[in-house]
Amino acid sequence: MARNYYETLGISRDAPRDEIKKAYKRLAKQYHPDLNKDAGAAEKLKEINEAASVLCDDKKRANYDRFGTASEGFTAGTGGFDFRDFSNFDFDFDNIFDSFFGSSFGRAQGQRRMHRGSDLNIEIEISLKGAAFGVKKRITLTRLDKCAECNGSGSRDNSLETCPDCNGRGVVKQTIRTPFGMVSTSTTCRRCSGQGRIITNPCKACDGRGRVKRNRKLEVEIPAGIEDGSNLRIAGEGEAGEHGAPAGDLYIRISIKPDDVFERQGNDVWLNANIPFTVAALGGSIKLPTLDGEAELKIPAGTQAGTVFRMRGNGIGALHGGARGSQNVRISIAVPESLSRRQRELLLEFEGLSKSKNYSVDAKKGFFDRIKGAFNE
Ligand SMILES: [Zn+2]
Ligand SMILES: [Zn+2]
């Protein structure tokens, strides 16, 4: 066989052992007949095994490098590793590889597999009011639930038998031939999928799986104060586990619909109120919306544009109890766009009585403080 082992593995002649292992691992995966259905994959895998078995052995490699053959005694391709042995494995290449090249003997023995059910993720949209006061939402989930017929055991009469293949250990020990000699390895028992027990009388409702797909209605309580984008975890409301294993969790992502009137900032809400200039000058009261319904707000005489009034307790509820936030009302002043003749006369008279007709400049002192929201409570 004049095959070039280095080319087979796609490595250079001076490749260190680590690199050979890496190349072997990658190629073995690529051409393994369980994964690669191409005609010739099995043959290719044989070549890869042969190349690796020579190049990973320093003596054989030295011989091969010098004489183009591994040794007199070594006939490449025969007596070596039979790839069909792969099919007896739990398909775990790290284990396979370790058992070729080293020390590890696979998974710890006696370790049974219990597969917890999958987590589920959903999204719920709520209103700002819902976030302010908390809200209950009804949802319907389609999920794998514990089979009610067999209580998740998968067995019609609860009769389980110790798996004869692994004697209840969930793993089987095998001794296999590899290019590097006899190696023993532990793999998950195929018959019982690592459960250690087999069902003698499978439940008809779930085919022995212990789970069935169902529509499930749930009522979810969304707490006051919840933030947009937060996740609620509801333990145990995900999918049921296999063979009675614990269920996964349900994760609910909360999105809060933007409100037409209020803007949220933490537990406060903000609102802009555009009030008539006469109310600003003379004082009075205005009606305005709050999360709790319509309310009245007193406007003191001489209120300036940009003033912020804080209405305590009209904001969003606190997430873990405690006081609600505030509703902050920012004042803007509506100047009439047209005046009647009489209104104009009155305003001209008003102007005549005013001390100054000039504007004043207040950008230097206090102006920014005022627009940042000097609170007037
Ligand atoms: Zn069942
Ligand atoms: Zn078994």
| Res. 199: pLDDT tops 90 | no
pTM greater than 0.75: no
| pLDDT one-digit tens code per residue, 8-61 | 888 988 888 888 888 888 888 888 777 777 778 878 888 888 888 888 888 888
Task: Looking at mean pLDDT, say which of 181-185, 191-195, 368-372 comes out highest.
Answer: 191-195
Distance 38 CA to ligand 2 centre (A): 32
**Residue type at 252 in one-letter notation:** I
The mean pLDDT of the chain is: 81
Beta-bridge partner residues of 231: 253
Q: pLDDT at residue 251 above 50?
A: yes
pLDDT exceeds 80 at position 357? no
Give the pLDDT confidence score for residue 366 in this predicted structure: 60
Q: How far is the CA of 42 from the centre of ligand 2 (A)?
A: 29
Residue 104 has pLDDT above 80, yes or no: no
Q: Starting from the CA of residue 154, give the closest ligand.
A: 1
The pLDDT confidence band at residue 75, using thresholds 50, 70 and 90, is very low
Q: Does residue 96 have a pLDDT over 60?
A: no
For residue 109, the CA-to-ligand 2 centroid distance in Å is 12
Report the top-level CATH class of 263-371: mainly beta
Q: Is residue 87 very low, low, confident or very high in pLDDT (cuts 50, 70, 90)?
A: very low
Centroid of ligand 2 to alpha carbon of 165 (angstroms): 5
Q: Does residue 76 contact residue 1 with C-beta atoms inside 8 Å?
A: yes
What local confidence, expressed as pLDDT, does residue 20 receive? 86
Over residues 105-131, mean pLDDT: 75
- pLDDT greater at residue 328 or residue 187: 328
For the domain made up of 5-88, the CATH class stated in words is: mainly alpha
What's the confidence (pLDDT) of residue 31? 82
Burial class (CB in 10 A: 0-12, 13-18, 19+), 140: exposed
What is the distance in A from the centroid of ligand 1 to the CA of 119? Answer: 21
- Please report which ligand is nearest the Cα atom of 211: 1
pLDDT of residue 184: 77
166 CA → ligand 2 middle, Å: 4
Q: How many residues can be counted in the chain?
A: 377
State which of 3-7, 106-110, 235-239 shows the largest mean pLDDT: 235-239
pLDDT grade for 91, boundaries at 50, 70 and 90: very low
Whole-number Å distance, alpha carbon 212 to ligand 1 midpoint, is: 8
Round to whole Å and give the CA distance between 289 and 39. Answer: 75
- Measure 159 CA to ligand 1 centroid, in angstroms: 13
Straight-line distance from the first to the last Cα atom of the chain, in angstroms, rounded to the nearest whole number: 95
Residue bearing the bigger pLDDT, 240 or 92: 240
pLDDT band, residue 308 (cuts 50/70/90)? very high
For the chain, domain boundaries: 5-88, 120-256, 263-371
Centroid of ligand 1 to alpha carbon of 303 (angstroms):
73
Distance 214 CA to ligand 1 centre (A): 13
Q: What is the dihedral of CA 25, 81, 64, 32, to 10 degrees?
A: -30
CA of 91 to the centre of ligand 2 (A): 16
Residue 162 CA, ligand 2 centroid: distance in Å: 8
The fold adopted by the segment(s) 120-256 is Chaperone, DNAj Protein; Chain A (2.10.230)
Provide the pLDDT for residue 227. 94
Ligand number with the minimum distance to the CA of 163: 2
Whether pLDDT at 187 is above 60 = yes
Angle value at C-alpha 370, between 367 and 374, nearest 5 degrees: 155
Range of lowest pLDDT (69-73, 127-131, 154-158, 243-247): 69-73
